[in-house]
Chain A
Amino acid sequence: EAEVAQSPRYKITEKSQAVAFWCDPISGHATLYWYRQILGQGPELLVQFQDESVVDDSQLPKDRFSAERLKGVDSTLKIQPAELGDSAMYLCASSLGHQGGGAKNIQYFGAGTRLSVL
């Protein structure tokens, strides 16, 4: 069964360091999402891509966070510099998007990257 792949699974970093997360969506999925989930809360959308274009990044803290999906396939989320409050689970999801007909907006999630900032 196709899966959304994320790496690394766990990341420990020190405050003010740079950190990057990688996501490979399910093959053929046009839409890719990055969410942040703070412990005990529901995930919150950070950025949404349709192919290689950003559709929504209104909740992305752009002073320190950046995201790209250069070829419209895999994606990287970067934080520089990391702050203590960035400690969370970072989840990637993908969906068929506009090509998917009735199932186009069912989002499938990866296992996430758990970030700890010390």
Chain B
Amino acid sequence: AQKVTQAQTEISVVEKEDVTLDCVYETRDTTYYLFWYKQPPSGELVFLIRRNSFDEQNEISGRYSWNFQKSTSSFNFTITASQVVDSAVYFCALALYSGGGADGLTFGKGTHLIIQP
């Protein structure tokens, strides 16, 4: 069975600070995908990024960056120069690869990020 651990339940920082959200995963499969989703107070989960297990390149998108390290089974998410609009619950998730399609996601418990003005 798969497992995703987000040890930080809640993080509070002041606007413009950098913040890193940790994600550690467990799976016996060699082919899998990792995801990050954002859940604002409205409730809808918003897709941020997907990485596959064969691609360990870090990725940067504007103020967001992701660090994928298979050696430590981690997929951490950093927000640079945080803004109040970044306040939300962030979920890390894992999906196994099935050749015919896409498996359901296994989510972590989420990290509630609070950006104070």
Contacts and interface: CB of A to CB of B under 8 A. Distances in A.
A98 B98 CA distance: 9
Interface in B76-117: 91, 93, 95, 97, 100-110
B63 interface: no
Given A105-B33, A110-B44, A45 B104 contact: yes
B101 A30 contact: yes
A72 interface: no
Q: Interface extent on B, as a size class?
A: 20 to 34
Interface string B18-44: 000000000000000101010000111
B104 A106 contact: no
Chain A interface size range: 20 to 34
A105 B43 contact: no
Contact of B91 (A42, A55, A104): A42
B45 interface: yes
Contacts of B101: 30-31, 50, 55, 95, 97-98, 104-105
Contacts of B105: 33, 35, 43, 45, 107
A108 interface: yes
Contacts of A44: 107
Interface in A71-118: 89, 91, 93, 95, 97-98, 104-112, 114
Interface string B52-70: 0000000000000000000
A14 interface: no
B102 A105 contact: yes
Contact of B100 (A56, A98, A112): A98
Contacts of B107: 42-44
Contacts of B103: 48, 56, 105
Nearest to A105: B102
Interface of A: 30-31, 33, 35, 40-45, 48, 50, 55-56, 89, 91, 93, 95, 97-98, 104-112, 114
Interface of B: 4, 33, 35, 37, 42-47, 50, 91, 93, 95, 97, 100-110
Given A48-B104, A110-B44, 14 more contacts: A31-B101, A35-B104, A40-B110, A42-B91, A43-B91, A50-B100, A55-B101, A56-B103, A95-B102, A105-B97, A106-B35, A106-B50, A109-B44, A109-B45
